[in-house]
Amino acid sequence: MNFDFSEDLKLFADGLAKGLAAACTLADVRQCVVDGRFHAPSWQFLVDMGVPALALPESDGGAHLGMLPLALAAQAIGHALVPVPSFSSLYAFTNALMLADAAEAALWRHRISDGAVLGCVCLSVPQSLTFDGGYISGTSAPVLDGDCADCAIVLARGKNRTFVSVLVPLSDSGVRRERLASVDPSRPLSRLHFDRAPAILIGDEALIEHTRDAASVLLAFEQVGAATRALDITRDYVLQRETFGRVVGSYQAVKHRMAEMWCAIELAKAHSLYAAWALDSRSLDLPLAARSANAAASEAFRFAARECLQLHGGIGFTFEGNPQLFYRRSRLYSSLLGSPFDARAQIAARLMVGERPLN
């Protein structure tokens, strides 16, 4: 039994966490909310640390280190709360590309490996989105980083009502991007309008299904990181703030709420760790484990963000306060892959047909 990351990986994660903390304070995150864009210096730091290449095959310029280092990178990104194209490019696009055989997929793997190029993924299919004879038409659901990505992988309706996964370079003709107002403007959402845009078939629905699982696992790590940070700043606050002659952190109502936050985060972390193993080892457990990690981490982050705001009192709901940054991000992140209710419905359905975890 060895249910933990290796010491080497932990060292690597510590380095990432320190670098991100230096690159991006919560004041910087707030500025990104004002500016409505991601934090370029932090992304550059991640690129310099080789993060985009971690999981990619060596043949495409990657480091071929599997999914575990990426999971720890996601946790560090979450802890710093840095707004970067993590979900879109690092988690979803990378994993989708790794399942595709097409020559163009290899080309894009190469391009994203040094971080200069960004991808995004449309995981859900509005009625109108159709692929036919090499072209895609229709309008996507809101897509994270659709405004700045160079390429998208899109689930669309092919012929005979089947679903297909296609690669769409976004600089091509026939693509229009519409920026939308996001609850967390540092992580912008856009709608992509396709009007017979050239697209390459790279897989069937299963490709996006696996991408969704992989992205769930990595996003769960990011949410665990962010929830932990929300608990950290709450602790810092309640240890210095006094009321009625005592530090706020000595009141049981505060202590017990924080103990519950901690418990929820620990459980989410355990689920995420197992899901990372399942993803990295290509276990049959992945779908159940990924949804479990997603549900637990989304709930833990949402709870931590909500109570972080609450326990900060008045400063909590000001724009100058930090808790709102977590409250926004948690709202965004628990909507990207369906809600925790959706995830639990899927978990129950699997349990009811007899599926059980292997370990």
Partner 1 sequence: MDFSDTPSDAAFRSRARAWLEAHAPKRGAGRTFKDDMDLLRAARGWQAAKADAGFAAITLPKKYGGGGGTAIEQVIYRQEEARFDTPFGVYEIGLGMCIPTLIEIGSDALKERYARPAICGKEIWCQLFSEPSAGSDLAALRTRAELVDGSWRVNGQKLWSTGAQFSDFGLLLARTDLNAPKHAGLTMFIIDMKAAGVEVRPIKQMTGEAEFNEVFFSDAIIPDDHRLTVPGGGWKGAMTTLMFERLNVGADIGLIDTLGLLDLLGTDAFADDLARDLLARWYLNDRGLKLLGYRAVTGLAKGQMPGPEQSITKLYLGRQAQEMADFVLDQRREYGALTGKDLGDWSAIERAWSFGAAMRIAGGTDEILRNIIAERVLGLPSEPRADKGVR
By C-alpha distance, which of 337, 356, 328 is closest to 297?
A: 337
> Could you say which of partner 1, a second copy, none residue 2 binds, taking C-beta under 5 to 8 angstroms by partner kind?
partner 1
Cα-Cα-Cα-Cα dihedral sign, residues 235, 321, 296, 118? negative
- N-terminal to C-terminal alpha carbon distance within the chain: 11
Cα-Cα-Cα-Cα dihedral sign, residues 255, 256, 260, 263? positive
Specify the residue for token string 């724009």: 319
Specify the residue for token string 């971080």: 115
Specify the residue for token string 């709360």: 81
Report in angstroms how near the CB of residue 181 gets to partner 1 at its nearest.
4
Q: Which is nearer to a second copy, 173 or 252 (CB)?
A: 252
> Could you say which of a second copy, partner 1, none residue 268 binds, taking C-beta under 5 to 8 angstroms by partner kind?
partner 1
> Could you say which of partner 1, a second copy, none residue 184 binds, taking C-beta under 5 to 8 angstroms by partner kind?
partner 1
Q: Which is nearer to a second copy, 135 or 251 (CB)?
A: 251
Report in angstroms how near the CB of residue 205 gets to a second copy at its nearest.
35
Report in angstroms how near the CB of residue 256 gets to a second copy at its nearest.
6
DSSP per-residue letters across 55-69: TS-GGGT-----SHH
Q: What are phi and psi of 120, to 5 degrees?
A: -145, 165
Report in angstroms how near the CB of residue 151 gets to partner 1 at its nearest.
19
Report in angstroms how near the CB of residue 304 gets to partner 1 at its nearest.
13
Q: Which residues ranging from 247 to 266 are in contact with a second copy (CB under 8 A)? A: 251-253, 256
Q: Which is nearer to partner 1, 45 or 274 (CB)?
A: 274
Interacting residues with a second copy (CB under 8 A): 251-253, 256
